[in-house]
Chains A and B, each alone.
Chain A
Amino acid sequence: MQQFPCPFCGLREETEFHFAAEAGKPRPEPAAQVSADRWAAYLYLSAAPKGEAHEIWVHRSCGEFFLMTRNTETRAVLATQALPGRAGE
């Protein structure tokens, strides 16, 4: 059982969380100007790094999305933080 620190609720069990996406992929807009390749890259391609990964997770219990840096091989959690602009609300 892994544990992740939700920036809002603290350390909770893995079953309360859901992986949302790899971090750092802004949504390409407007649609009319987005090429098929760019859209496919945004929607589907991923780095799936072995080692350090920057990801967006959601703590389903509180509904907050946040950033997590962790090692996908050792499963060590390196850091979590609220999405920009959401800390301290």
Chain B
Amino acid sequence: MSGWRHPSMGHMIDRTSPISFSFDGTPLQGFQGDSVASALLAAGPRVLGRSFKYHRPRGLWGMAGEEPNAIFDVQEQGLGCPNQRATTLPLRAGMALRSVNTRPSAQGDWLGVMDWAQRFLPAGFYYKTFMALGWMRWEPMIRRMAGLGRLDPAHMPAATTPALNALCDLLVIGAGPAGLAAAKAAADQGRVVWLLDEATALGGSLRWRGGEINGAPWAEFANATETAVLQAGGRVLTDTTLWGAFDHGSYAAWQRRANAPDRHWRLRAQQVILAAGAIERPMWFANNDLPGILSAEAALHYLVLYGAVAGRRILLATGNDASYPVAAALAQAGAQVILADTRQQTPPAPQGVRHMPGATLSRAHGSRAVGAATVDGHYIDADTILVSGGYTPSVHLHCQAGGKLDWAPACDALVPRPGTAPMATVGAANGAFGLALALAQGHAAAQGAGPAPQATAPAWGLAAIRPNPQLRGRQWIDPQNDVTLKDVKLAAQEGYSAVEHLKRYTTLGMATDQGRSANFAGLAAMAALTGRSIAQTGTTTYRPPFVPVPLGVIGGLRRGSAFDPPKRLALEPQHREMGARLREYGGWLRPAFYGTDEARAVQSEALIARKTVGLYDASPLGKIEVIGPNAAALLDFCGYVPMSSLKPGRARYGFMLAESGIVHDDGVVLRLDTDRFVVSASSSHVASVRMILEEARQDRFASKDVFVHDITCNWCTLTASGPAARALLVQAGVLAPGSAAHALPHMGVIESQWQGAPLRLARVSFTGDCAFEISVPLRHASALYTALDAARTTLGGAWIGLEAVMILRAEKGYILVGKDTDGVTMPHDLGWSGPRSKRQDPYFGDRALFTAEAQRPDRRQLVGLVTPQHTPLPTGAHIVPNSGDLHSLGFVTSSYYSPFLGRPIALAMVNGGRDLMGETVGVFHLGERMQAQICAPCALDPKGERLNG
């Protein structure tokens, strides 16, 4: 218990609003305005969690996304959420925090014994063992031990995050001094600026470091910037993390809002300025992972913003000037501070601070938390160690956008190489440490007019600090993944010295802090161990996301019915009214059957359709108009069956092939006039058929001579099928007795009027019965429905769903492309070999019908099956030899009980099937072998007499 709350400091918190929360069951108190991290720091518990592998005690380290240790499962209002980072989580009343990787608590974790075995568990130890009994013997134990927090199975967050798109002139990432200067400079010139910062307020490090800009407190400059940005039509978004740079200048940002859903921004900008600041590096000494060791910058952050003081007896170890104000502030706040600087040449010691120039921290002492330290051989009593090993510029987004890095010795860091990414990087992210420099760079990058904002703060001096392989004791490089300097050494020794090998072998930098505090040390250590420079050693690739982003933010609203929404019928309300059970077919939600008992309803519908009349909604059937003098020629090229010989007023069945000769779609083409056709593509192939037609049109034809126009969704089509179909249409007033339409022959098409609406009638049949497709523009759908339904009732017909239609078409041996055919089926496999043997003119897929494979006599061919049993064969069963060796000869593609025939029917694709007519074959399904006889696909009315009605 070393952290404490200063009686007056901390402008973020409201001391009049205390907030109760708990940690590992212990009740604690913070204030409104606290982050979980600041509340915990002030409340005192040091051990906040355990490490992943050795279960070492771990405490708070940082102040933002770099925090590797203070990660909790948070329970609020009865619902849990795992792996919440204390540094970026606002404190709310009633939060129950549970440490991760602990049994039962962070303070008393019995798996802490793992640390005793650490010498036998070096990097990659699992690659060398667990082989004798098989990995799966050991895996469950390892899985249980791994994994940070616990998912709450009952917590299903609603999909509420909208995705929003925005454009601006200038996107400024980061609202610290450099970002503010850039935003102000651009906004002052009237440019539309979006200024983003992941913190809850503008200012970046100014918020805790303070400073004067143009001779006034920095906050005035920040306010003026915000005003200027808003006046120029821009936006200022705080609590917003820009997490991804993608191709062609697109960016993704995650905005967090209090009491409102988060937002997912997709941004584009004319210009992008990266001002993401820098992250303080740790230091490397023995036991540098003990609770009570914090980033110096973070300690200042907590002190100034929240009045949370890291400790009472503080050792601050550093090698740079930036730590001096930290030491001064802490001393002024009432802590005892010893400042150990690795440099001999240092700024003057702040008042009240014991100064140790040229001193190096080599070891921290303590079992569960820091109690003392060794500095240059001196044992120093301390309850808290603050460290600053330098600063690593946040170059992630520059690199995500393809940018390269250069080693800059002056700031001891890798910085963006100018011109290698489509953005300018300024301020600390560019290695420009110090207020004046940051302001100048931001101003210049935005092409600011006049002089840059002025500040007096000098640039920081710093010394390079590195992990020291000669030092005794364990030095942590990646605290969350428990990677030590010895692990890096071992990786180098075993040849995993390429940075990516190092990362993958040791898991260095792969924790949920994404290596923010670990990567540089790993790189520096590997460079030292292999005798290369850091620049030669290289870096791992930077990829989105910059911080872990909730999956719900990326997934957005695309859930439930909004996930790949199915298309809907205009008459859906009427179908529902009639008790339709809707199911998805080819991307459309269509009636599967009417009623509740599927098996009974389907059989009954199929029987009524054969005996009197069945009505079904065929609106999803494709209706692609092909118009113009070259329409017939285009269809001849795109289709397998030529259409130029079709007479106006007639329809013809045909196929469209892929260029590979595979049956892509089948359907009827209507010729309404010499230069006007309608292609009835199957519902799921409308888009692809249209594209095949368009491509051929644009590639081969003078395109003004033929047009392709998809009108599928503009028309409603209802189909009446059965012996009483014509009577139904007469009764509904669609057909006048004695009219040309009434006498329409099979495969005849006619356009007329019905109740003032355009009407198209096609006598085409997918059932083998006399059938009419009746099409009207969508706005007349309801009227057509009402008229047909009234007539249906009188005639004793039925509305039938798609499942019954499936039976009717299968009784006739009519195929469904994609069900009875697959990606190798050619038209001659279905018995349609005429065009293949006769056509000389070019058509889509022609050459592929004559490959060696296409000419094999034992290709899979469409056949029917008769089974002696009363139950239908399972669809998906394979055809096998009747006896002997089991191997696949094909499979059952469609199988139903036919109520009209009173027996099961089936279609199958069978190797050389047409030569096997009458033969008995085996049918294999899930280990069982049955028998069936091969027959012709058509089981009903092979002469087609029913078509006449």
Contact = CB atoms under 8 A, between A and B. Distances in A.
Contact of A30 (B250, B695, B840): B840
Contact of B842 (A20, A29, A43, A60): A29
B248 A3 contact: yes
Interface string B679-698: 00000000100110011001
A86 B266 contact: no
A18 B246 CA distance: 19
A78 interface: no
A1 interface: yes
Contact of B246 (A1, A60, A77, A89): A1
B247 A75 contact: yes
Contacts of A79: none
Interface string A51-72: 0000000101001110000000
Contact of A86 (B250, B703, B846, B851): B703
Given A36-B851, A43-B848, A63-B690, A31 B842 contact: yes
B847 interface: yes
A83 B848 contact: no
A38 B699 CA distance: 20
B404 to A, nearest CB: 13
Nearest to B842: A29
Q: How large is the interface on B (under 10, 10 to 19, 20 to 34, 35 or more residues)?
A: 20 to 34
B247 A1 contact: yes
B698 A2 contact: no
Contacts of A19: none
B852 A36 contact: yes
Nearest to A82: B698
Given A30-B842, A36-B852, A86-B703, A65 B694 contact: yes
Contacts of A34: 847
Contacts of A39: 847-848, 851
A72 to B, nearest CB: 12
A63 to B, nearest CB: 5
A31 B846 contact: yes
Given A1-B246, A89-B703, A83 B698 contact: yes
A28 interface: yes
A27 B848 CA distance: 12
B847 A31 contact: yes
A58 B266 contact: no
B694 A1 contact: no
B660 interface: yes
A2 B249 CA distance: 8
Interface string A31-45: 110101001000100
Nearest to A75: B247
A6 B916 CA distance: 54
Contact of A28 (B266, B402, B847): B847
Nearest to A77: B248
A63 B840 CA distance: 30
A86 B402 CA distance: 36
B847 to A, nearest CB: 4
A64 B848 CA distance: 26
A2 B248 contact: yes
Interface in B798-848: 840-842, 846-848
A39 B847 CA distance: 7
A86 to B, nearest CB: 7
Interface string B833-875: 0000000111000111011100000000000000000000000
A5 B930 CA distance: 59
A65 B694 CA distance: 8
Contact of A2 (B247, B848, B851): B247
Contacts, number: 55
Nearest to B659: A43
B660 A43 contact: yes
Contacts of B852: 36
A27 B843 CA distance: 11
A83 B699 contact: yes
B652 to A, nearest CB: 22
Nearest to A18: B691
Most buried by B among A27, A34, A58: A27
Contacts of A27: 842
B848 A86 contact: no
A73 to B, nearest CB: 11
Nearest to A34: B847
Contact of B694 (A2, A28, A58, A89): A58
B248 A1 contact: yes
Contacts of B695: 20, 58, 65
A63 B851 contact: no
B11 interface: no
Contacts of A77: 248
A29 B660 CA distance: 15
B704 interface: yes
Interface string A1-20: 11100000000000000101
B850 A86 contact: no
Contacts of A63: 690-691, 694, 708
Nearest to A28: B847
A58 B402 CA distance: 28
Contacts of B690: 63
A27 B660 CA distance: 13
A31 B660 CA distance: 13
A4 B250 CA distance: 13
A1 B850 CA distance: 42
Nearest to B846: A31
Contacts of A75: 247-248
Interface in B417-447: none
Contacts of B699: 65, 83
Nearest to A3: B248
A36 B266 CA distance: 48
B854 to A, nearest CB: 10
A58 B695 CA distance: 9
A82 to B, nearest CB: 9
A64 B694 CA distance: 8
Nearest to A44: B660
Nearest to B690: A63
Interface string B905-940: 000000000000000000000000000000000000
Contacts of A3: 248, 250
B248 A65 contact: no
12 contacts: A1-B248, A1-B266, A2-B247, A3-B248, A30-B840, A36-B852, A43-B659, A43-B660, A58-B695, A60-B687, A63-B691, A65-B695
Interface of B: 246-248, 250, 266, 402, 659-660, 687, 690-691, 694-695, 698-699, 703-704, 708, 840-842, 846-848, 850-852
Interface of A: 1-3, 18, 20, 27-32, 34, 36, 39, 43, 58, 60, 63-65, 74-75, 77, 83, 86, 89
- The 6 lowest CB-CB distance pairs between A and B, nearest first, are A31-B847, A31-B846, A1-B250, A29-B842, A39-B847, A2-B248
Given A1-B247, A34-B847, A43-B848, 5 more contacts: A3-B248, A20-B695, A29-B842, A30-B840, A32-B840
